[in-house]
Structure 1
């Protein structure tokens, strides 16, 4: 379905609402899967994870030094017989004889009867050698209170306590905690499978472009955006301007994806292959009152949502950020990247009647500097930016210091 050319362009808010409604069935009841820890980085926990063990697993030494009874080192200096040695990884229980000390390494089990660790820096071995503790005597030079440098069992987390909350995006520190608790697999939200289809005879995916050809920047950009939003790329394919060829890669992607994104081929000129293939399948081809990214199309093909973006590199990226990034992050359980207000460092002008998404760079003081121009082909200029400056359709000019809304790139 093509909108009446005389109709007013659709607003950004209305089109974003349409996209969100199309994706609601995919995010209402997210699926879950269990993955090993070495493949869990960046995934989102499907529910809270409770520890099945105490951490630490046993009382252990926080420092290299000597395990003692605090009562035996209240008056210093004091010389104590060294009755043994406990390295890290020692697997047999040991008891401390009152009035003696046991040399102990960091992480080693604290012997029964000991209630403090004297760091090695506060001691001197006055008899015996480090490699032979037979008959050794250690002088303790500083008193210690009960519990000093002793890590008690369960002082970090108790068995049954929540180790990680639900909807936690797993970072290295989370994986370390899971591994320390003996967790080998973790239940996470399944990721949406996104098919990415670019179109245009002019596109070259590899090798050197010939005259009139360009590198396919949109395929790699969309794949990166999809993965950053918590989904996975199920298919990445490209076709020229032949409708049959595009229909084949579309039908293949439908069998392997949860949604499809296309780039290019939806404008009003000739050789608009995506438009030609999707219109008979019920596509809504429209113009959104924004720049870049005005031409937009949506369709439901075989029950699967398809989102068609314009083909200029900046238009493709802006379209994804404005319309798809939020819903995909929500479906993945990731936090919303909310637009925020900052101040302009210099004046800017905007085209009236269309909401502009200009490129900007935040300075060290939290204000934004416009970079590059407004054109949708300036992909290198987009790379120099770290935000989009959102200029309302009714605004023609803004002065330096004016508050503007920015979207994080």
Structure 2
């Protein structure tokens, strides 16, 4: 079979990058959810790859770079664009549609504007356009403020984001009502639970649905300082197995799966993160992170490996948990009421904001806000063998 070509854009958003498609540009068989769509995206990214390199595809063999986005003009008058995110497994024939990517959310607005998914009448010659995005995976609204210069998306600038080598333009992104599900921020009803994990022990855990379902535990309870870099975790198979076990039992306790053995079919969610009070450390780029400049340290795992920086959706979870007194995140940050927090991650630090309110006995987060950046890396076509889906 000859190869077919599909219009696509390769974009960085925050500390992630992925292949972006317009829904209408996909082959007809892949325009709806199902096996054909999954097989197409797996082949585009070069998965499943037993070598875990994705050499024969667009992926770059990390959870941050094995990502796909499908965008379309929104049918809702309240939104400009519908955004569907697919996390493509590297070594398994699996695309996880269970959650969002907060980092790539920053690239959706620019992609939508450039590809005609936003009403041209709303785009100024110079200024900022507010793009209202419907996140299809979790049924939530994201509002992105995209700078425009001479009628086109501005991409270059001097905004620096730890985890990204070069500066670019700042894009503020607001995640509206970021709780998963029907507003159940704490699916167990508790700010802190005793999570029993066979082979590990009973751990204090804050399990939260905000941005993305996340299980927070104390670094000290599992023998870490919270200032670890990737190699300290990702080169330790025993540690990775421990974190996967914690994730599986956290997923079960949060009601995300019905049986602990189902966790392997839900790789993208929940995330596991460990927290500790602020500390001095040297980031992966050699930057000195000072304890006085941050409120706490956080390390998070994505798709079974320690993330090189911080997932955008997990940053939303951190902001939400920090805003609610009594969670492990709030306690690690020193306790007290706050509407923003600066945390240290392996690549540096990040400031995120959220405001929490207790309404009729349930916690509610109106929005969580952070600044990211985005840039087009390549645009044109991807090619896949015609019999691959």
Q: Output the TM-score relative to the length of structure 2.
A: 0.22
- Of the two, which has the highest radius of gyration? 1
The structure in which a higher percent of residues are strand is 2
Q: Output the TM-score relative to the length of structure 1.
A: 0.21
